[in-house]
Each structure stands twice: as C-alpha cells, then as structure tokens.
Amino acid sequence: MNFDYILLIFVFSHLRKTLQSKILLPQIDKYLFIGFWLSIMLLIAEFFLHSRTHITAWIAHAMLFTIIYFCVTQNEFKSVKPFIYSILPFVVVNFIEDFIALINSSFYDEWNNYFDTAIVFSIIWFFAMFFITRKQRKDMEIEQLKAIEREKEFQQSEILKAKLEIQVAERTAQLRSQKDELQKTLDELKTTQEQLIQSEKMASLGELTAGIAHEIQNPLNFVNNFSEVSGELLDEMNEEIEKGDFDEVKNIANDIKQNLEKINFHGKRADSIVKGMLQHSRTGNNTKEPTNINKLADEYLRLAYHGLRAKDKSFNADLITDFDENLPKIKVLAQEIGRVLLNLFTNAFYATHQRQKKSGEAYKPIVSVKTELKANGIEITVKDNGIGIPESIKSKIMQPFFTTKPSGEGTGLGLSLSYDIVVKGHGGSIAIDSKENDYTAFTIFLPLE
C-alpha cells in the first residue's frame, strides 16, 4: 500500500489542527477540509485498485507537492514550515520510487531494497524532525505565553503609571492653589512662585511649594490672630474714648502696641522663612554652619505647638524636652533641619489632636523631643502618644504624595522631603517606631563631620 495517502490525511489533519489558533481565511480552511476528505477517498480507492501506477497515486503526489509549495511560499503557512521540511524527504523518495517503477520496472526491482532503505531513513527523519519541531513549537508557545504575561504586566504598570500621573496632577493643582493663596499674602513669595512656574522642568516644584506653604502657615496664623485681636482692641479703645476713660485707653494702646510688635516679629519670621526657601531653591546653596540642635528643636517645637493652638485654642498638650547638655554644635543646613523638625512636630500634634477627638477629655496629648550624643553623631527623637501608624502603611509614609490626612489637609510631601534632607542632604537616617492607637516615634541620626 502506498503511504502517500496516509501521509496526506495526516498532513491535512495536522495543518487544520495547527492553524486553528491562527486567523485563517475561510476559503483556505475550506480547501484544507476538502483536501482531508479527498485524501480519505484516495485511500479507500487504493484498497480496491491496488496499483502503484494508478492515477490515484499521482493525484496524491500532486496534492503533496501542492501543499509543500503553498506552505513554503505563502505567509499564512509560515508556522508549519518546519513540519513540511520534515515530510519533504519522504515525499521526494516516494515520488522517485513511483516514477522509476513507472518508466523502468526492471531497474526498480533491482534497486527496490535501496528505495525501501531510503524510505525507512526518510520516515526516521520525519519522526525525528516532527518531535523536534513539536518540542520547539511548545517552547515557542511557552515563550509566547510568557511574552503575553510580560505584556499584561507592562499594561498594568502603564495603568498604574497613568493613575499615579492623575494623582500627581491633582496634587500639583492643589499645590498651585496653595501657591496662589500665599502669593496674596506675601509679594516676595509670589515672585518665587512665578519663577517656579516658569521652571516647570524643576523636579522639586511641588516639594518646594508644599514646604513653603507648610512652614509659612504658622507665622501667618500668628499675624492673622494678633491682627484680629488688635482690631477688637481698637473697637474697645473707641468705646473708652467716648466714655472719657483715657487711662483705659492708654492700657489698650499698650496692648495694641504689644500686638503690633508680635505681628512685626512673626512677619519677620515669615520673611526669614521665605528667604530661606529662596536660598534653598538656588543651585549651590549647600553651606553648612555650626548649629545648636537643642535650641533649634526647642524653637520649632514651640512654633508647631502654637501654630496648632492658633487654629484650635481648645487644644492643649504636654511638651516634654530632654536635651543632652553636652551636645556640641553640628554643621548642618539649619533651615533644612528646622523644616524636618517642624514637619515631625506638626505631624505629632496632628496625631494627638486626632486621638483627642476620638478619646475625649480622658486622653492627655503628649509630645516629647529628646537629643542624645552618640559615638559618631547626634540622635533626635520626636515622640507622641497619638493615633499611631498602621503596620500596613508604615513602609509607604516616606513615599512622595502619600498621606493619610483628608484631602486638602496634607500634601503628602512632608516626610518625603524630610527623608531627602536627612538621608541625602546630610548622610543621616530616619527610623520609625509606631503602634496604632498608642504612639509614634521618629528618630533622626545626624553624623558628626
């Protein structure tokens, strides 16, 4: 029996199965289907005709060579070319054998054993190539699946990137809104903001704006509060003038003068903050000066506390200081370290304030600061007994734009800026120790130079 028919059936079956996952034209699939059933009909005809030289054998040869031609030349069959190359020796040997048997039967009978040997080797070649290409195809499919997974991961990362860009845009909009409000308060700050807007390529645009807003808020609160009180005192003065009580008028005038002195003091404080931020924004402003860390920590502890009380006069907290008297002056960027301390103190008071709202009068807010001289540096610990930090977000709080505060109350840049200042700017470290609804402690280490 001629094996061409069986091979034809196998080829058509294999092509249809292999190409099912590809996008085939309906007409091509139709031809493969017809070829499959035509091969079966040729095999059935072979059982009845039993003739190697019969027309069915040459139809089978023609069909095989046609399939080989189309698979080699057409892009639609590119994926099955290795399979076609594996059957090619068998098809060629079988064709030569039938052709010689047709034109010279005596020569065929003499060399029949060699033809059988060639067919055996072509069959071995077929099976070897078939299994090799099958393994290669499976490996390629695995690689394709991996590539698809990588593409999915890439798409997911692009989606996350787009979401982050949206968050950044929202935060940038909030920062610009804060900038506009600050511009109305201070002309020099307005100039700074305009320069930053013109320099959008500066990666620290949002960070600088948030830092300015954060630090300048406290002296501005003092200015606003003392201005309101002075306005009320002027009303009282007018009443006393009408009554003719000039002694009381003098007392009120003294109070107003004191308030004006305080307004002037905090106005200069705001001015120094702005100038400090302007210096920070300039390239090359990295001159470190000997600084008394105890004095710096105490100043910003009071500043943060009174800043919160200016917003909520009902808030009270115990301030505990434990300063190492043997602490030497250390070369740092005082304005930068002051910003770090102010941020930590502000966060500490915010945490205790939030817990007080939940716990009521039975709870007593406590914020402490401790300095200690170590072998190779200075350690500053800021601790509060506030709401604490959940374990699930502890690893994220140093990330830019991450905040647990309600929208509009936090920029999400404070701790990120603090990390950059301490670690990148001063070669130090920041450690976090916290327990939810119990306490939070930030420990800053600054190396001695």
**Does residue 157 fall inside a structural domain?**
no
CA distance 56 to 59: 5
Q: What CATH number is given to the structural domain containing 322?
A: 3.30.565.10
Same domain, 119 and 134: yes
Same domain, 195 and 110: no
**Does residue 178 fall inside a structural domain?**
no
Which of 267, 284, 301 is the last residue in one of the domains? 284
Same domain, 196 and 47: no
Q: Which of 26-40, 278-292, 332-346, 373-387 has the highest mean pLDDT?
A: 373-387
Same domain, 293 and 278: no
Q: How confident is the model at residue 203 (pLDDT cuts 50, 70, 90)?
A: very low
Same domain, 319 and 260: no
Q: Residue 437 in 3-state DSSP?
A: coil
Which DSSP string do the residues of 130-162 spell out, in sequence order?
A: HHHHHHHHHHHHHHHHHHHHHHHHHHHHHHHHH
Same domain, 312 and 260: no
Same domain, 296 and 275: no
Taking only the tens place, the pLDDT of each residue in 420-438 is 899 988 999 999 999 988 9
Q: Which of 135-139, 427-431, 444-448 has the lowest mean pLDDT?
A: 135-139
pTM check: above 0.85: no
| Alpha-carbon distances, residue 416 vs 123, 167, 339, 424 (angstroms) | 70, 16, 12, 11
**Does residue 162 fall inside a structural domain?**
no
Same domain, 272 and 345: no
CA distance 85 to 78: 12
Same domain, 430 and 291: yes
Here the tokens at position 191 are: 């100039």
Which of 234, 263, 284 is the last residue in one of the domains? 284
Taking only the tens place, the pLDDT of each residue in 220-229 is 887 888 788 8
**Does residue 174 fall inside a structural domain?**
no
| Alpha-carbon distances, residue 436 vs 229, 320, 355, 369, 384 (angstroms) | 39, 21, 11, 20, 12
**Does residue 32 fall inside a structural domain?**
yes
Same domain, 238 and 315: no
Same domain, 18 and 117: yes
**What pLDDT was estimated at residue 311?**
76
SS3 content of the chain, % helix, strand, coil (to 5): 70, 10, 20
Which of 284, 305, 332 is the last residue in one of the domains? 284
| Residue corresponding to tokens 């308060």 | 185
Taking only the tens place, the pLDDT of each residue in 254-284 is 888 888 888 888 888 777 666 655 544 444 4
Whether residue 94 is predicted with pLDDT greater than 60 in this model: the reply is yes
Same domain, 25 and 36: yes
**Residue 220: which domain range?**
186-284
**Does residue 378 fall inside a structural domain?**
yes
**Does residue 26 fall inside a structural domain?**
yes
Q: How many domains does the chain have?
A: 3
**Does residue 269 fall inside a structural domain?**
yes
